[in-house]
Amino acid sequence: MVKTEVFTGKTVDDAIQAGLEALNVARDDVTVEVLDEGKKKLFGKSSPAEVRLTVQDKRTDGERAVDFLKGLFELLKEEATPSLECEDERIVIQLAAPSSKGLIGRRGEIIDAVQILAGAVANTGRKEYKRVVVDFENYREHREETLRRVAEKLAAKAVRNGKRVRLEPMNPYERRIIHSALVDNPDVTTKSEGKEPARYVVITPKNMRPYDRNKKFGGNKKYGDNKKFDGNRKYGERKPYPKRELPKEDTPVSSGTTMRPTGSSSTGFRKSGFSGFFGTFLGNARDDEAPQTSEDKDE
């Protein structure tokens, strides 16, 4: 952690000494930046010197993460003591507690959250990210073995059924374990899908069967084998309709093919004699309404 403050004095040395006493640090623990050397005047007040002191945190990244976890567990009122185990390619912090209750959580949710916070503190100010592992009574090792067994079991299931298998959402560390467990398996491939925090691993067999829609409708029957859908008859086929013959000119009036009103006061219709095909619309008028000829006009 870097701490910076500005101090003043009659001279530069006085300002530096005032800062060292206020910060309670030695001269070698700070860097000095002179902001104003001060000016002496013959008449009037002289301007004071001004310096900026920066205290460098000499703790390592792992030590800063451990101190952070100590304060975190005090706020959470958890009886857990973090200790730095190693700090080389990765930072490993071991937790000691009388009970794992409230420390690991369901499938490691609590200890994973603690690990993320410790990693954020340890990598503050770093250009390259350094992995931080927070462990409790070899929980990480047991969890890794469990994930490897699950990966092998689900891979065998995917190959046996010829279908993809999707695992439950996992954090990046656990997904990496699944990928590494099946990277040498010649029968399956793995891929991460979804978005954080619900990203998951999908195991795809190399003998994956194509999707068969007919199975959804009762096995491998071909459409049309069902009696309801007879393949030998076209859907919607109709029987031939008998052709109606036009009536002859001498058709009697009582053929019963026309509809006449039952009376002037009634709106109903009754069956009556034939009065010509389609009435007068086709020019077939009744005998009493026949048009006059030229001979009739002469008379």
CATH number for the domain harbouring residue 75: 3.30.300.20
Retrieve residue 218's tokens: 């009762």
Cβ–Cβ under 8 Å, residues 190 and 201: yes
Q: Domain containing 193: what range?
A: 140-205
Please answer whether residues 248 and 274 qualify as being in contact, where contact means their C-beta atoms are separated by less than 8 angstroms. no
Is residue 272 situated within a structural domain? no
Instruction: Put the strands of the sheet holding 3-9 in their side by side order.
Output: 3-9, 49-55, 30-36
Same domain, 65 and 133: yes
Average pLDDT rounded to a whole number, residues 134-161: 94
Residue 192 lies in a domain: yes
Q: Alpha-carbon distance 41 to 162, whole Å?
A: 92
- 118 plus 65 within the same structural domain: yes
Domain membership flag for residue 232 = no
- The burial of 264, by beta-carbon neighbours within 10 Å (0-12 exposed, 13-18 middle, 19 or more buried), is given as exposed
116 and 90 housed in the same domain: yes
Total structural domains in the chain?
3
List of residues 6+ apart from 58 with CB closer than 8 A: 29
Q: For residues 134-157, b (16+ Cβ closer than 10 Å) or e, as one string? A: bbbeebbeebbeebeeebeebbbe
Any domain includes 271: no
Q: Verify that 76 and 124 share a domain, yes or no.
A: yes
Kindly report the CATH number assigned to the domain that includes residue 192: 3.30.1370.50
> What is the 8-class DSSP label of residue 275?
-
Residue 85 and residue 148 in one domain: no
Preceding peptide of 240 cis, ω within 30°: no
Same-domain status, 39 and 65:
no
Query: 96 or 273, which is more confident?
Result: 96
Residue at which a domain ends, from 137, 168, 184: 137
Same-domain pairing of 81 and 124: yes
290, 294, 295, 299 alpha-carbon torsion, rounded to 10°: 90
Q: What is the pTM of this model?
A: 0.55
Q: Give the domain-ending residue among 158, 175, 205.
A: 205
Among 18-27, 122-131, 153-162, 205-214, the least confident range: 205-214
pLDDT at 200 over 50: yes
pLDDT in tens, 165-182: 999 999 888 999 999 999
Residues 131 and 153 in one domain: no
Taking alpha carbons only, the member of 170, 173, 103, 181 closest to residue 137 is 103
Higher pLDDT, 70 or 106: 70
- Residue 35, pLDDT score: 83
Question: What pLDDT does residue 284 have?
Answer: 46
12-26, 130-144, 208-222, 264-278: segment of lowest average pLDDT: 264-278
Structure tokens that stand for 204 in this block: 């795809």
Q: Choose one of 120, 137, 154: the last residue of a domain.
A: 137
**pLDDT recorded at residue 205:** 95
